[in-house]
Amino acid sequence: MGFFSASSSTVMTHGRGIFPDRLIGRGISTMNTSVMLGVACMQTLSGIIGDAFEPLASGARTEDAYRELFGTLTLVLIVAIAIYSRSQDVKPCEEMKAARR
């Protein structure tokens, strides 16, 4: 579970190189809020898609509902990867290099 959910740590590490040391707290807090809002939006979208299909007598959703849900999640993931893959590798700022010495 830890291996597959480490993407947030990777995003935070990438974000660490974007912000100068004097703004690191605000920057990482903003990034963390964005990640959590993304999770909330995806859960809401999943609920909307699931509710668009009539449940079976047992209360479960149909196979079509799950196909639509996982297809949408796959499409969102592909778009997100395409956007993130265009980001540049951020080298540590001069302040960070000086602090290591």
Assigned domain for 24 exists: yes
What pTM was estimated for this model as a whole? Answer: 0.69
The predicted pLDDT at position 18 comes to: 80
Assigned domain for 88 exists: yes
Domain housing 77: 7-100
Assigned domain for 1 exists: no
The predicted pLDDT at position 5 comes to: 72
- Residue-wise pLDDT tens for the chain (101 aa)? 667 777 777 778 877 878 888 888 999 899 889 888 988 999 999 999 999 999 888 988 999 999 999 999 999 999 988 988 887 776 666 656 666 66
The predicted pLDDT at position 101 comes to: 63
Assigned domain for 56 exists: yes
Assigned domain for 50 exists: yes
User: Rounded distance, CA 12 to CA 29, Å?
Assistant: 10
The predicted pLDDT at position 47 comes to: 93
User: Rounded distance, CA 27 to CA 93, Å?
Assistant: 14
Assigned domain for 2 exists: no
- Please give the tally of structural domains in the chain: 1
Assigned domain for 70 exists: yes
Q: Is 11 exposed, middle or buried (0-12, 13-18, 19+ CB in 10 A)?
A: middle
The predicted pLDDT at position 26 comes to: 92
The predicted pLDDT at position 100 comes to: 63
Q: Specify whether the CB–CB gap between 95 and 18 falls below 8 A.
A: no
The predicted pLDDT at position 67 comes to: 95
